[in-house]
Amino acid sequence: MERKREMRDNRIQSMVLVAVFAAITYLGIQVFRIPMPAAVGTPFVHFGHVFVVMGIFLIGGKRGAVSGSIGLVVFDLLNGFVQDIPQVFLETVFKCLVIGALFAVLKKRAGKDVRKEFRAVFVCTVLYGLLNIVIEFVMGIVKMLFLGSNFAAAVAGSAVSIAATVINVVFLIAVILVIYLPVKRLYARAVGEM
């Protein structure tokens, strides 16, 4: 009986954490965004990916995929980016599962060594950013081809627009490196682990 209650409590805690990270991800885009010029889309600098990546690191790749997808999709739904939802959903799930699996392996290898764990955070954040750049570049080309551009124009248009994604990736890496350790400590205290 006690085991059933503990399992139920763990499931409830897991759902609450996913909901909290989804809400924080949504707010990270809704509250803080700086528009940037681009040939494709309407990009802006925001904290959304910061909280998606923190979700991966703190609650795992699978739950991070759920919370990140929910947060980003709700933002798109409420802000007129409905056409982007399928891409955002699929790329977020993909990036979260890949980075979550890699981080789990690297964190396990790091053991209690905080420096190795921090290196794993850096590597995984950079990889998340690189995946984001590649996916956005390719999808920019695909979107422009669907809109009738020839291939050369689509590549050029996507290349011009990718600068906004690169700026977001640099922002993501810088913020994660500053906040990871303090947020991890706060999270561990709040959730009761470490």
Q: pLDDT tens, 107-134?
A: 999 999 999 999 999 999 999 999 999 9
Where in the sequence is the domain holding 32, given as residue range(s)? 2-191
What integer pLDDT is reported at residue 36 of this predicted model?
A: 78
pTM assigned to the model: 0.89
Full 3-state SS string of the chain: CHHHHHHHHHHHHHHHHHHHHHHHHHHHHHCCEEECCCCCCCCEEECHHHHHHHHHHHHCHHHHHHHHHHHHHHHHHHCCCHHHHHHHHHHHHHHHHHHHHHHHHHHHHHCCCHHHHHHHHHHHHHHHHHHHHHHHHHHHHHHHHHCCCCHHHHHHHHHHHHHHHHHHHHHHHHHHHHHHHHHHHHHHHHHCCC
Burial of 2 (0-12, 13-18, 19+ CB in 10 A): exposed
Give residue 37's Cα distance to chain centre: 22
CATH number, domain with residue 121: 1.10.1760.20
Task: Please determine, for residue 1, whether its predicted confidence score (pLDDT) is greater than 80.
Answer: no
What integer pLDDT is reported at residue 138 of this predicted model?
A: 95
pLDDT tens for residues 38-64?
665 677 889 999 999 999 999 999 999
What integer pLDDT is reported at residue 14 of this predicted model?
A: 87
Q: Domain total for the chain?
A: 1
pLDDT above 90 as % of the chain: 76
pLDDT band at 194 (very low <50, low <70, confident <90, very high): very low
